Amino acid sequence: MRRFWLLFSQTVTVLLAAYFVVATLKPEWVSRRPVLRSDTGVALVEAPATANGPAPPGSFRNAAMKASAAVVSVSTTKAPEQHPYANDPWFRFFFGDQGAGQPQQGLGSGVIISPEGFILTNNHVVEGADEIEVQLNDSRKARAKVIGTDPETDVAVLRISLDRLPVIVLGNSDALQVGDQVLAIGNPFAVGQTVTSGIVSALGRNQLGINTFENFIQTDAAINPGNSGGALVDVEGRLIGINTAIYSRTGGNMGIGFAIPVNTARQVLEGIVKEGVVTRGWIGVEPAELTPELMETFGVKAREGVLITGVLQNGPAARAGIRPGDVITDVGGKRIANVSELLTNVAGLKPGAPAQFHIQRRDERLDVTVTPGKRPKPRQLQEQQQQR
């Protein structure tokens, strides 16, 4: 029996020694993982492929894959400006041939939102462009046509004619909360499609002087030049905003970016596609922020809302009984804190559809029903205010 255990122990010792030698000199013989050998002969162990497997915890892979295919690069070309007398023989005799110069190139991003080829982007990306080319993530290219623009929200609608277009899923920007995780997708600095991540830093940003109607989503996801018009998506890959602007002292990302909520962009899209223009509500008032001086002048008791300093004669507000000195605190169930919020909420009302307004007139709180009209073009609005 003793001889048997001695033989067994010696056999195990020899096998372990052999395994150690093989594992050291030929690890690929005993490892299930593939081993690469470089030109120097160093054995490198390769990790198993997981590209098609489940995403690791905390990864945004699925959201990026869902949304990226529908985000496009938008290239614009604008013909060079020519001197108005460039073709005049006498001008050319004295000043020579001025030449046409080089065409101006622009770059931005866009998002395909329907199989019919409609694309959302920023107005400032395509404004003044003579030619617009769109490149998909699968490298296909197509000339784009401008269906309509809305400079007051900085939204533009393009259209391309291609088959089998990837389409992004629209989310609900009204459901966003500060702290929600988001991804920004676009083509910054023309390096190619790029995905960055961050959170929703703030909601309802306005009074930035960027657009007439401002209700921006603020995010710290990196947004850089070339990202304009690209997608801001949630962790499910749903579109929640159109990247528009950044706050920067250097021209690059500083962690403060702004996106137009998708609900706003959707309203613009529907107005442009259905009617060719964006129709907004208008009540004919001259609003002002509540300041101690104005509150004393008008005898205002309210502590929040927007002061009405003037009312257009025979306008929607005047017909509803709103007077100078009234303070609007609520429009259609939404509280109003400043002029930008009043302007945005009134513009969102449907012309001809009555809406409930809460106002404070000195110590009295009133509910009035206002039937908004159609918002005039800015020049028409200015002329009407001058006639008041």
Given 68, 73, 75, 154, which residue is catalytic? Answer: 154
Give the integer Cα–Cα distance in Å for 251 and 246: 8
CA nearest 113: which of 164, 169, 68, 64? 169
Give the integer Cα–Cα distance in Å for 279 and 335: 23
Instruction: Please say if 358 is a catalytic residue.
Output: no
Residue tagged 């030698």 (tokens):
21
Given 124, 173, 234, 340, which residue is catalytic? Answer: 124
Instruction: Please say if 173 is a catalytic residue.
Output: no
Given 68, 73, 201, 228, which residue is catalytic? Answer: 228
Give the integer Cα–Cα distance in Å for 357 and 331: 5
Structure token digits, residue 349:
């009302």
**DSSP label at residue 324:** T
Where helices occur in the chain by DSSP H, the ranges are 2-25, 27-30, 61-68, 89-95, 123-126, 262-275, 292-298, 316-320, 339-347, 378-387
Structure token digits, residue 84:
């108005």
Instruction: Please say if 154 is a catalytic residue.
Output: yes
CA nearest 257: which of 212, 170, 198? 198
Catalytic residues: 124, 154, 228
